A = this chain, B = another copy of it.
Amino acid sequence: MASAVLWRRGAAWLRSCRGNRREPPGVPRGRGCAGSRDVVPTCERYAVRRLPFARLEERDVAAFERLMPGRVVSAEEEVKPFNVDWLKSVRGCSQLVLKPQTTAEVSQVLRYCYERNLAVNPQGGNTGLVGGSVPVFDEIILSTALMNQVISFDKVSGILVCQAGCVLERLNEYLEEQGFIMPLDLGAKGSCHIGGNVATNAGGLRLLRYGSLRGTVLGLEVVLADGSALDCLMSLRKDNTGYDLKQLFIGSEGTLGVITAVSILCPQKPKAVNVAFLGCPSFAKVLETFTTCRAMLGEILSAYEFMDEKCMELVERHLKLSSPVADSPFYVLIETSGSNSTHDEEKLNNFLEQAMASGMVLWSLRERITEALTHEGYVYKYDISLPVAKLYNLVTDMRARLGQSAKNVVGYGHLGDGNLHLNITAESYSHSLLDAIEPFVYEWTARCSGSISAEHGLGFKKKQFIQYSKPREAVVLMQQFKAMLDPKGILNPYKTLPSAPERSTC
């Protein structure tokens, strides 16, 4: 099997590879992501109007100081990093960061803000990609940074209960010592908080194997807008007593309540991890291989990623990596995670033998596409869910549509999850190119019943596009839930939902 490339290593190696898997910054309209200049305030760049919340006064700061002495941040320089997102694409003008340590303190803060009609921006690790984690105007930032305690871990059931501000990577390290892992993994794991992960229903790298947070999160503790605490922090795999309220808070991006604690089911740490790369002559073959792969690898398949030849060209050009085999139109990365290394290697070898027999060629490297893309100038990034059979058609159609006006139109992503990363590069930002891409990309996605945000959420930047993925009745119902749970609208305003019932956009 001369052209086969197959790695078999421990989970530790894999983790180190994943350290730089984080998607590179998306690009806000009008400026590059790498700019070191001060970020233009959101309220200046975007046509957004401040809602009539109260304005922060000295007496408010004093009241918070009494509530949590020494954990009230108001010095401008100290507040600054909490106002700007990780992409440096949006910037709020908050004057105050609060760092509660307990649920009771979060309750007290929200009760106070609710009575005073002060808007609040809940913030975890501030690693969101759609502008959901920083203020738009002067919302008070409620940081979970000091709510970082593990409450309990049960080795028999694998159930972890912890505060919302625990950093994902710290939790995973804690669990690994006991033979378990977190059911999710992200490039941002070194700084993202589990509460933020749950609030944004983070997808990430383990979804194909362990499923979404909607299945693994067993319970939540949430503080509502008026300060009342809602205890749904069950640690049970099965509980059919009434409506599952916690689900409403998963993925609601801090607009319905502040998550203060999480109960989550953690899988055993896999004993064997293998990775392989393959070349495929067509996207149809990528799909066919996925089907074969699932049948032969079954329960140990933990990732099935794909990329096109354009991605490979960029990786070769900018990162000086060379292909060990002849060029192919498409490439696939396969990862397995199992409990028995001999069994897993045998399964993967059997699969590869069959894959080779049917004309596919092994090859390498998916990891650094995003890095290579940033060398190409300006990058327009889209994160789309589509039925897998149609997944690549969007890239082909976009390429045909844009012709010479784009430098590159490339596609890659988590095929196993039906998640495409569509990237378009040009020498520099151009409003006319953007107009050629949008709303075409959203309309195309809507026609295929896809999702315009697979895993990043809507936040501030995409909320006006929700109607491309959700019918009007659903949006109206969401607005009713928001109005019921947060009648004054103080929680993470200007995010997730259009502020008034939208006229149809698609």
A contacts, CB < 8 Å to B: 154-159, 179, 200-201, 203, 207, 211-212, 214-216, 228-232, 234-245, 247-248, 250-252, 256, 268, 270-271, 287, 290-291, 294-300, 338-340, 343, 346-347, 385-389, 417-419, 449-458, 462, 466, 469-471, 473-475, 477-478, 480-481, 484, 496-497
Contact = CB atoms under 8 A, between A and B. Distances in A.
B340 A236 contact: no
Contact of A251 (B240, B295, B453): B240
A238 B387 contact: no
B243 A291 contact: no
Given A214-B215, A240-B456, A300-B339, 4 more contacts: A230-B477, A236-B451, A237-B385, A298-B340
A201 B347 CA distance: 35
Given A232-B474, A340-B343, A346-B343, A238 B454 contact: yes
28 contacts: A154-B388, A154-B389, A157-B387, A159-B387, A215-B215, A235-B449, A237-B385, A239-B454, A239-B469, A240-B456, A241-B458, A241-B466, A242-B475, A242-B497, A243-B496, A244-B248, A245-B474, A245-B477, A245-B478, A247-B247, A248-B248, A268-B298, A270-B298, A271-B298, A295-B339, A296-B339, A299-B338, A343-B343
Contacts of A229: 473
A200 to B, nearest CB: 7
Taken together, the copies of this chain in the complex come to: 2
Nearest to A458: B241
Contact of A466 (B230, B242, B484): B242
Contacts of A159: 387
Contacts of A230: 471, 473-474, 477
Contacts of A300: 299, 339
Contacts of A155: 291
Nearest to A465: B241
A243 B238 contact: no
A450 B271 CA distance: 32
Contact of A297 (B294, B339, B497): B339
B238 A157 contact: no
Contacts of A270: 298
A256 B216 CA distance: 24
A455 B238 contact: yes
A388 B157 contact: yes
A214 B247 contact: yes
A270 B294 CA distance: 11
Nearest to A297: B339
A212 B215 contact: yes
A61 B463 CA distance: 46
Contacts of A473: 228-231
Contacts of A417: 237-238
Contact of A242 (B228, B240, B458): B458
B241 A248 contact: no
A239 B451 contact: yes
A98 B11 CA distance: 57
A235 B347 contact: no
Contacts of A245: 474, 477-478
A492 to B, nearest CB: 13
Contacts of A156: 287, 290-291, 388-389
B251 A243 contact: yes
A373 to B, nearest CB: 21
A245 B243 CA distance: 12
B385 A418 contact: no
Contacts of A296: 339
Nearest to A385: B236
A358 to B, nearest CB: 16
A480 B343 CA distance: 52
Contacts of A481: 243, 484
